[in-house]
Each structure stands twice: as structure tokens, then as C-alpha cells.
Structure 1
Amino acid sequence: MKLSEKKMLKKKEEIILSAIKIVNRKGYQSATMEEIAAELLMTKGSLYYYFKNKEDLIFQCHERVLSNAMDELKVHLEEQVFYEERLRRMIVTHIDYAIEEKETFNMIIKLDEMLLTDKLNPLLEKRNAYESYFDQVIQGGIEANEFTIAEPKIVRMILLGAMNWIQQWYRPAGEMTKEKIQEIYSDYLLKLLK
């Protein structure tokens, strides 16, 4: 890759991270390209060198975080350990995103509020694929007699719903560390499957 291409990719990443912060602070409708550009000491016009419009920029934000999270979950999905341990590791990873990538994570939860055109369907499909990784591990655990549940889809929704709520209440200076929360959540959520 040429140096100019590397610089362009780096600048795009900076713009995406700035956009995530502003959209989460002000909401998709209220955030403007001017504010995103100002955060990076750029002109609004220079943003259009990297992105077609605001929707394209928001699409790239979602694409970035979903792809990264899916890559990490896929590693756990394919690990040669008991299904319970795979699911524990997936829970830890999901919680890590909920806490460390709070701004981006919040955007994924509200995906359908932000994109209303043809860009929405590919991201919804990707989000569904992310959820399916949990389904695969839960189903594998049922077939291996590690889990004894009758409604795997409902259990997956409970798991993700409980983990998604973390970003509403977690505070870095709170009484528990992220690692302690991951441990407690994993222990309790895995009991749902027994």
C-alpha cells in the first residue's frame, strides 16, 4: 500500500471516530458535517473527499464496529473448547465492546433510527449475522448436552438485551471494574442455559 493510501485510511478512521462521538452526543439528526469537520480542524468540504454524505459516513461508522466485533466473536466461535466456555468468551467480548466502544456500540443498537435508505439493509444483515454467532454456540451447546434450554432464540435475546443495557449504567469510576462485571455477567447469564 502506498504512503498516500495509508494516510487516506488513517484520516478516514479519524473522521469516523469523530463522527461517532458527535452522533452519540447530539443524535444522528442533530449532528452535522460541520461539527464533525470542526472536531478535526477540517472544513466541511474536505469531509466530502472521504465520504459522499453524512449517511455514507454513518454507514462507515457502523461497518467499522460491526466488522471488528464480528471478527472477534468468530475467533471464539471456532475455538476448540466446550460451548459454555465459548459462550463465556463471547459474553466477555460483547461486554468489552459495550464498555470500551460505548459510543459506537450505542449507534449499533439504534441502527434503524439512523439509516433509512438502502444502506440500512446490509448493516441489519450484518447485525443479524453477529447475533447468529450466539445462536450457533447456543445450538451447539444444546446438541452437545451442555445446555438444556427449550427456547434458544429467546435466551439469546435475553443475553444480548442484558449485555446491551450495560452501556446505559456503567461508569469507569464505579464500584466494579470492567473485568469484574464481565465475570459476574458471564456467571449469571450462563446459568440461564442450564
Structure 2
Amino acid sequence: MKLSEKKILRKKEQILLSAIEIVNRRGYSGATMEEIAAELLMTKGSLYYYFKNKSDLMYQCHNFVLSQGTEDLRDILNRGEGSATEILVKMIATHMEYAIEEKEVFNLIMEPKRFFNEEQLELVLKLRKEYENLFDQIIKRGITSGEFRVEEPFIERMIILGAMNWVQQWYNPDGRLVKEEVIEKYTKSILKILK
């Protein structure tokens, strides 16, 4: 890769990180290309050099967060440190961190058809399938080792991800429970489903 290509990739990543922060702060509809450009001390026109429009930028943000999450979960799974239960606990904590910290961008996962065009949607769904498959793998590993007693791993995975994704609908960082307590309570409840 040429130095100029690396520089463009670094700048694009910097834009994505700022856009993610703004979307998490203001929501999808509240985040504007103007605000993102201003935060980066660049013109709106310069922003359009990297992204066709707001939809493209939001797709790239979603893809960036989901790719990072997938990579993090894959690393946890591939390291294989501990029992299936211990690995799943780490995966739950990682997923919950993303769901809480990247709330608005993560929310795009909930209704991808609403935000993405057909081409983007196809890629998003492929990446989501890869992400879900990591949970399938650890659940099956737990069944094989005798740690988990479930009949339908697919249904259990859907229940687990559905419950974890819903946290972004109700969690309030200023509420009664801090993030770590929420993650701990979710983890205990999820493990009860599997045991």
C-alpha cells in the first residue's frame, strides 16, 4: 500500500471515529455532515471526498463498529483461554460494552433495512452472520463440553443477542446501575438460560 493510500485510510478512520462520537451523542438524525466536518476542522466538501453522503458515512460507521466487534469476539474465541462458560462471559462483556458505548451506531443494527441500501444491506447482513456465528461456536463448544444444556443453539443465540441488544433501549448511564453492574446481571441471567 502506498504512503498516500495509508494517509487517506488514516484520515478516513479519524473521520469515522469522530462521526461515531457525534452520532452517539446526538443520534442518527441529529448528526449532520456539517457538524462532523466542523468537529474535524474540515470543510463539508472535504468530507464528501471520503464519503458520498450521510447514508454512506453511517454505513461506514456501522461497518467499522461491527467489524471491530467481530474482530474482538474472534480474538476472544480463538485464544480459547478458559472453559466455554468463561469465554462466553468475556464475549458477553465485549458485546455489552459495544451496545452501551456505541449505542446510536449500534442501533443501526436493529433496523438495517431502514438505513442502508440493498448493496450495503447485503454486506451488513453478511458481517452480522459472521458475528452471530461466533456466538454459535461458543454455545456449541459449551454443549460439547457438557457446560451448556440446550436443545436449540440457534434459538438460544437469538435470545442472548436479542436481550443484549435491547440494553441500548433502556440503559441510562445516569441511572441506578452502572454499566459494569448491568453487564454482570446480564451475564448471570444469560448463563442461567444455558445451564
Assess same fold via TM > 0.5: yes
Could you report, residue by residue, the CA deviation over 1:113-139 in whole angstroms, capped at 9, with x for unpaired residues? 111231221111001110111011111
Could you report, residue by residue, the CA deviation over 1:152-182 in whole angstroms, capped at 9, with x for unpaired residues? 1111111111111111221222222211211
Q: Distance in 2 between matches of 1:123 and 1:131?
A: 12
- 1:51/1:57 contact within 8 Å kept: yes
2:118 is paired with a residue whose SS is coil
Residues 122-141 of structure 1: matches in 2 within 5 Å? Answer: 122-141=123-142
Q: Distance in 1 between matches of 2:60 and 2:124?
A: 10
- 2:73/2:91 contact within 8 Å kept: yes
Q: Distance in 2 between matches of 1:138 and 1:112?
A: 28
Residue type of the alignment partner of 1:42 = M
Moved more, 133-142 or 34-43: 34-43
Count of residues paired in the alignment: 193
Q: Distance in 2 between matches of 1:185 and 1:23?
A: 26
Q: Decide whether aligned partners of structure 1 residues 75 and 26 sit closer, same or farther in structure 2, where only a CA change above 3 A counts.
A: closer
Residues 142-153 of structure 1: matches in 2 within 5 Å? Answer: 142-153=143-154
Residue type of the alignment partner of 2:138 = V
Residues 1-12 of structure 1: matches in 2 within 5 Å? Answer: 8-12=8-12
Q: Distance in 2 between matches of 1:145 and 1:8?
A: 49
Moved more, 127-136 or 80-89: 80-89
Q: Distance in 2 between matches of 1:119 and 1:162?
A: 25
Moved more, 135-144 or 54-63: 54-63
Structure 1 residue 169 and structure 2 residue 193: aligned?
A: no
Match of 1:71 in 2: 71
Match of 1:16 in 2: 16
Could you report, residue by residue, the CA deviation over 1:37-88 in whole angstroms, capped at 9, with x for unpaired residues? 3444432211122123333322211121011101110122121321111111
- 2:27/2:104 contact within 8 Å kept: no
Match of 1:85 in 2: 86
Moved more, 174-183 or 15-24: 15-24
Q: Distance in 1 between matches of 2:189 and 2:31?
A: 38
Moved more, 163-172 or 100-109: 100-109
- 1:35 positional shift: 4.3
Match of 1:106 in 2: 107
Match of 2:156 in 1: 155
